[in-house]
Amino acid sequence: MKIVVLDGYTLNPGDLSWEPLERFGECTVYDRTPWNDDDEIIRRIGNADIVFTNKTPLSAKVFEACSNICYVGVLATGYNVVDIEAARRKKIPVVNIPSYGSAAVGQFAIALLLEICHHIGHHNQAVQEGRWEQNPDWCFWDYPLIELEHKTMGIIGYGRIGQMTGKIAQALGMEVLAYDSFRNPELENEHCRYTDLSEVLEQSDVIALHCPLFPETKGLINRESIQRMKDGVIILNNSRGPLIVEKDLAEALECGKVAAAGLDVVSVEPIQSDNPLLKAPNCLITPHISWAPRETRERLLHIAAENLKSYMNGKPVNVVNL
């Protein structure tokens, strides 16, 4: 059996072993594959049976040309890079990994929030530059510092990741409002209070986005929804960039309607120089690394191998297109 990993570097820049996949057959790993070159993607797949991709697109053209493909493993939760309809027509299962990074992504959402509240990186740099030593007072701060206890965290999307963010927020003394199309009554009261989207938008001091990107959630945060929010709200997004209309958020940051934003994702990645959020005040942007702790990536790799094993045993799991 021939296995191809089209873009393995982000998952494994050298600190992990590919052995969990290599045990299934001949495994070729490419660090990167040009995302906009179907011909090169086709050449690299060749006559492989198993294809793993993270962000390299698999189009209908690729499926037509690579007739040996019998399984596609997505090394991520999101699978929009794969033409799942084309794969379905050829009866090729597309399998994702939905739950490998809940702890890390929830932790990262709170890390963004705490950086906004305390500006730790900035104040460390100020100390390193000698400003504390030269200060006439025994302490100083350059930004307003924010205490989170008794404030309200609104979480849009209360699946595994949203629940982790909510759990940490509660540990900080915050009240948690949750909006999700599926409500788990066992979480009510102890972990959160479920409510509708309007109340989350209107009553939250902090809004965290943890919902998937669907047509109905694209552009969820826009000029109209921002106007319904509290003045001085903080917005966090380490889910999917297109959940936010970036021009509208930039304008809200400029006028102070939104006090700050912490983002690990943007609409086009890597970020483009004309993204309006790059010039917006109080906007913290990191390069889509919520998922990237070593422990999380190692878990992802082992789940990918277990998914493949289940398929080979005739009991495929996490299939998104069949």
Q: Which two tokens stand for residue 282?
A: 């109080």
Alpha-helical (H) ranges within 95-196 are 102-118, 120-128, 160-171
From the candidates 288, 294, 298, 299, give the one annotated as an active-site residue.
288
* Amino acid at residue number 4: V
Cβ-based burial of 17 (10 A; exposed 0-12, middle 13-18, buried ≥19): exposed
Orientation angle between helical segments 160-171 and 102-118, nearest 10 degrees: 40
In 3D space, the residue among 44, 164, 160 whose CA is nearest the CA of residue 111 turns out to be 164
Question: In Å, what is the CA distance from 23 to each residue of 17, 29, 170?
Answer: 11, 14, 43
CA gyration radius, the chain: 22
From the candidates 22, 188, 269, 295, give the one annotated as an active-site residue.
269
At 109, is the secondary structure helix, strand, or coil? helix
From the candidates 123, 240, 246, 297, give the one annotated as an active-site residue.
240
Place of tokens 């790993």: 29
Q: 161 near 105, Cβ under 8 Å? A: yes
Q: 203 near 153, Cβ under 8 Å? A: no
Is 210 among the residues known to form the active site? no
Is 269 among the residues known to form the active site? yes
Place of tokens 């003394």: 173
Alpha-carbon distance 235 to 204, whole Å?
10
* Amino acid at residue number 250: A
Is 150 among the residues known to form the active site? no
Strand order in the sheet with 26-29: 26-29, 2-5, 50-53, 71-74, 94-95
Q: Which two tokens stand for residue 146?
A: 């924010």
Catalytic residues: 240, 269, 288
